[in-house]
Homo-oligomer: A and B are copies of this chain.
Amino acid sequence: MSTPSKTVTLDSRQTLIVTATNLFQKQGYYATGLNEILSLAGLPKGSLYHHFRGGKVDLAIACVESLAGQIVLHLQRATLSQQSYSELISQLVRQADTWLQSNNWSCGSLFATLSHEAKPEDLALKASLKDSYRCIQEALAQLLQEQGLSESKAADVALSTVFSLEGALSLSAALGSAGPLKEAETLLLLRVSESMQ
């Protein structure tokens, strides 16, 4: 339909991004070797360096941008469909919960992982992470403004949302319990209700 019937297999560039993202989330950046990614993706090394001139770092940046794009799109759709902030948070927490559970609590946020592992000289990677966080925060702020919050309050709550969920996700994985995620939900609902009063 949408694809003009090229081959049965997915675009190999996309395959690399997906498998790399999964591995990075489960083991981190440096713990994941190129060979591991390639064998899992069923592709040779030549393909990787064809699609990603800069090698591993380029691939990581593509992963970040891809994921950020998906999240922003999700938030924009939620805004358009007038989904309430509380619903959104509950939904995200639920999704994160089942995701962690079905992966034996052995995975984490791609952004957080790469942020922690990026060396000071990895400027491009750091820039793309910063940008991703900024875009996500902005999309969230938009949704909050749509619900009556002032621009500055929306920005604050959006920021709180991002770091709370990141932190809760990380801690839930480390503790092997959904506790932190659930706590983050109540924390954020309290925060937004106070901002809307």
Contact = CB atoms under 8 A, between A and B. Distances in A.
Given A159-B183, A168-B167, A174 B30 contact: no
Interface residues of A, number: 47
B180 A159 contact: yes
A129 interface: yes
A79 interface: no
Contacts of A183: 156, 159-160, 163
Contact of A120 (B26, B116, B160): B26
A165 B167 CA distance: 8
Copies held by the complex:
2
A117 interface: yes
Contacts of A28: 28-30, 116-117
A176 B134 CA distance: 12
A27 interface: yes
A163 B120 CA distance: 24
Nearest to A26: B120
A74 interface: no
Contacts of A111: 174
A117 B163 contact: no
29 contacts: A26-B120, A28-B29, A28-B116, A30-B30, A30-B31, A30-B117, A106-B120, A108-B116, A112-B112, A115-B174, A133-B175, A156-B183, A159-B171, A160-B183, A162-B180, A163-B167, A163-B170, A163-B183, A163-B184, A164-B164, A164-B187, A165-B167, A166-B167, A166-B171, A167-B167, A167-B168, A187-B191, A190-B191, A190-B194
Interface of A: 26-31, 104, 106, 108, 111-113, 115-117, 119-120, 126, 129-130, 133-134, 156, 159-160, 162-168, 170-171, 173-176, 179-180, 183-184, 186-187, 190-191, 194
A120 B23 CA distance: 12
